[in-house]
Amino acid sequence: MTKLTATNLTLKVKDATLVEAASLGLVPGEFIALLGPNGAGKTSLIRAMLGLEYPTDGHASLNDEDTRRLNPIERARSIAYLPQTRPLAWPNTVRDVVSLGRFSHGAALGRLKPADSDAVDRAIAACDIKHLADRNADTLSGGELARMHCARAFAAEAPLLIADEPIAALDPRHQFRILDLIADYVKQGGGALVVLHDIQLAARYASRLIWMKDGHIVADGPPAETLTAQRLQDIYGIRATVKDLKIEMAGPV
Amino acid sequence: MSVARWLTPGLALACVVAIFAACLLGSTPLPPDRVFAAFLGGADAGDRLVVWTIRFPRALAAFLVGAALGLSGAALQGLLRNPLAEPGVLGVSATASLAATFSLYYGLVAFSPWILPLAAITGALAATALLALAAIRTRSVVTLILIGVGLSSFAGALMSLLLNIAPNPFSLSDMISWMLGSVANRSFDEIILALPFLIAGSAILLATRRGLSALTLGEEAASGVGLNLRNQRIFTVLGAGLATGASVALAGAIGFVGIVAPLLVRPFVNHDPARSLIPSALLAGLILVIADIGVRIIPTTNELKLGVVAALLGAPVFVWIAMQRRAAYD
């Protein structure tokens, strides 16, 4: 079974400590939501876990192999990564963008092998963007773009998925749709680590919440155990009441 | 998609036709049958001389220079994710021609004829590497173009300095030839000196083009789908530097073809940078062959420089693209 682990991961840039002694593991079947205020080190942590940053101390490994030494192709076949979305450089067709998810399998746009083409078709169907497949990506709405990027990640058919704020700037309906897609992926045997800002949705979808503040992992466990009013006050500086995983926010402390 | 399928073969055919036409046209037009005969080794000695030592090498040089610039332009645009990137605009050609001129007028070329292409390539690589470094530090397209403009002006200023202090006094017209670009009087000897570098650069760019598609997603997501970002940068810079340097060694600095050709090609290849490479090379080659025919047959007292015609066609396109770009992309 594919397993991504961080052991005492520390990341410092000059004098700033972005992540300190973070340890966690991700395996298929889990839906982890990574929570924390802006600047808590969530993106730095996942980049260090992926081997995109040199950790100052500690290490991240994929099946006991250091992710820093992993060939980018091998890593991409095991972990699909959805960074915070940036505009595409060119107005490519949706199908071509989704096909880029097969890059690590050697896919070249315009002449996909049958296996790659099938994976792209499945991902497009799963994300319900078949009707958009031949459109240019610059004509899509925010919600459609988010589904396109999800399809790109799923097209890799990797056992693990890491997504950085996949539902930022989406309307409520699309937030549900994207999280449903990720939940389906987990149900079918994938493992997902997703950075979220919506605590309520995180508690509803994730099997585990990891709470970060100032570069530290403060708590790690199922929503029922880790989502408390005290936690919200400590981490986000907000007054709130929590009952049966329902949050009622009163305002800043 | 039938246009897309016929794009590359169609352009290749057009290039062959244009090069053949370049052998027909000139101060004394030759009829097609005599050009055919000359190509096949028949015909009279005069025709063979005109075709084999004057017109064909010149047309071939124009094609190769255009192809190298079109390929480099398309590849740099893919790497920098920016339709305005091009060896001429970014100052790569100017730096290469400065290095080439330096080697010429300090007599370095006397040691070996290979010094000239090597100098041009060194200049091109230095400029491309500098730009790639700048591109890593800044995400702003405007900054990058400004660095290119600065590089161009600096190379131009150093060129003027050379004019003043070079030990072998040389004429203003020589310098203008290097800065404006021309394929007049090119022979197979010069083509052969540039060709190995041109082939090596093109091969590197074509072999690594798949990564350019991935870069459409941005650098972070591209490394996420499995692209080795560092290698991609190194290979694209190296390939574009070699190909541009070789083209400058052959014809001096010719700007803007590397912008125009990919711009026209992109809609037919679904805007995929990887698939735009070969058609862009062919189209840029075709443009320069046709422009060079124009240069030769337009009756002017002094022959127009090929680079001037390229800039007349290309610079307005550059301005047009710049005006089309939405602020969101910068």
**Running DSSP on this structure, what letter comes out for residue A83?**
P
The shortest C-alpha distance from A172 to chain B (Å) reads: 25
Mean local confidence (pLDDT), B142-155: 86
Say how far apart CA A178 and CA A172 lie, in whole Å: 10
Say how far apart CA A212 and CA A200 lie, in whole Å: 16
Collect all residues of chain A within an 8 Å Cβ-Cβ radius of residue B271. Answer: 90-92, 136
* pLDDT tens for each residue of B21-51: 999 988 788 888 888 888 887 778 888 888 8
Distances (CA, A) of B294 to A69, B191, B304, B310, B323: 56, 21, 9, 11, 29
Which tokens in the block code for residue A248? 């009622």
3-state secondary structure of A213: strand
Strands A57-62 and A65-66: antiparallel
Please give the pLDDT value at position B253. 87
Do B264 and B194 form a contact (C-beta atoms < 8 A)? no
Please give the pLDDT value at position B2. 62
Residue B68 has pLDDT above 90, yes or no: yes
Q: What percentage of chain B exceeds 90 in pLDDT?
A: 42
Collect all residues of chain B within an 8 Å Cβ-Cβ radius of residue A76. Answer: 224-226
- The answer to whether B81 faces chain A, any CB pair under 8 Å, is yes
Say how far apart CA A73 and CA A104 lie, in whole Å: 5
- The answer to whether A182 faces chain B, any CB pair under 8 Å, is no
Task: Quote the crossing angle between the two packed helices B306-324 and B273-297, to the nearest 10°.
Answer: 140
Please give the pLDDT value at position B327. 45
Mean local confidence (pLDDT), B155-169: 78
Task: Measure the CA dihedral A178/A179/A185/A188, to 10°.
Answer: -130
Collect all residues of chain A within an 8 Å Cβ-Cβ radius of residue B220. Answer: 52, 83-84, 86
Do A153 and A181 form a contact (C-beta atoms < 8 A)? no
Look at B270 and A52 and tell me if their CB atoms are within 8 Å.
no
* pLDDT tens for each residue of B70-126: 999 999 999 988 888 888 888 899 999 999 888 887 777 778 888 888 899 999 999
Give which of A46, A78, A90, A99 to mutate to test B binding, by max B Cβ within 10 Å: A90
Say how far apart CA B30 and CA B51 lie, in whole Å: 9
All domains in chain B, ordered by first residue: 65-279+302-329 (1.10.3470.10)
Which of A216, A244, A207, A214 has the alpha carbon at shortest distance from A229?
A244
CB-nearest to B225 from A92, A103, A109 is A103
Look at B218 and A89 and tell me if their CB atoms are within 8 Å.
yes
Look at A109 and B223 and tell me if their CB atoms are within 8 Å.
no
Please give the pLDDT value at position A31. 97
**Residue pointed to by tokens 């937030």:** A175
CB-nearest to B226 from A73, A86, A109 is A73
Please give the pLDDT value at position B199. 97
Phi, psi of B306 (to 5 degrees): -60, -40
- Average pLDDT for chain B: 87
Please give the pLDDT value at position A80. 96
- The answer to whether B265 faces chain A, any CB pair under 8 Å, is no
Distances (CA, A) of B49 to A127, A228, B45, B46, B57: 66, 91, 6, 5, 11
Do A173 and A55 form a contact (C-beta atoms < 8 A)? no
Mean local confidence (pLDDT), B159-168: 76
Query: Binning pLDDT at 50, 70 and 90, where does residue B326 land?
Result: low
B268, containing H or E segment = none
All domains in chain A, ordered by first residue: 4-252 (3.40.50.300)
Which tokens in the block code for residue A222? 């199922």
Distances (CA, A) of B42 to A83, B39, B47, B58: 65, 7, 9, 21
ipTM given for this complex: 0.91
Please give the pLDDT value at position B168. 62
Look at B217 and A91 and tell me if their CB atoms are within 8 Å.
no
Collect all residues of chain A within an 8 Å Cβ-Cβ radius of residue B82. Answer: 89
Residue B1 has pLDDT above 60, yes or no: no
Long-range contacts: A140-143, Cβ < 8 Å, 24+?
A140/A94, A142/A169, A142/A170, A142/A174, A143/A170, A143/A171, A143/A173, A143/A174, A143/A177
Nearest CA in chain B to A111: B275
3-state secondary structure of B156: helix
- The answer to whether A77 faces chain B, any CB pair under 8 Å, is yes
Give which of B82, B139, B217, B275 to mutate to test A binding, by max A Cβ within 10 Å: B217
Task: Measure the CA dihedral B259/B260/B264/B265, to 10°.
Answer: -50
- The answer to whether B232 faces chain A, any CB pair under 8 Å, is no
The answer for B32, left when phi > 0, alpha when psi is -120 to 50, beta otherwise, is: alpha
Nearest CA in chain B to A149: B217
Strands A246-252 and A238-243: antiparallel
Mean local confidence (pLDDT), B285-295: 94
CB-nearest to A96 from B223, B272, B328 is B272
Look at B269 and A110 and tell me if their CB atoms are within 8 Å.
yes
Query: Binning pLDDT at 50, 70 and 90, where does residue B219 land?
Result: confident
Do B75 and B209 form a contact (C-beta atoms < 8 A)? yes
Which of B308, B165, B180 has the alpha carbon at shortest distance from B248?
B180
Tell me the β-bridge partners of A13.
A16
Say how far apart CA B209 and CA B29 lie, in whole Å: 41
Look at A90 and B223 and tell me if their CB atoms are within 8 Å.
no
Distance of CA A19 to the CA centre of its chain: 18
Each residue's pLDDT expressed in tens, for chain A with a length of 253 residues: 899 999 999 999 888 999 999 999 999 999 999 999 999 999 999 999 999 988 999 999 999 899 999 999 999 999 999 999 888 989 999 999 999 999 999 999 988 999 999 999 999 999 999 999 999 999 999 999 999 999 999 999 999 999 999 998 889 999 999 999 999 999 999 999 999 999 999 999 999 999 999 999 999 999 999 999 999 999 999 999 999 889 998 989 8
Q: What percentage of chain B exceeds 70 in pLDDT?
A: 93
- The answer to whether A109 faces chain B, any CB pair under 8 Å, is yes
Please give the pLDDT value at position B329. 47
Say how far apart CA B197 and CA A225 lie, in whole Å: 65
- The answer to whether B228 faces chain A, any CB pair under 8 Å, is yes
Please give the pLDDT value at position B328. 42
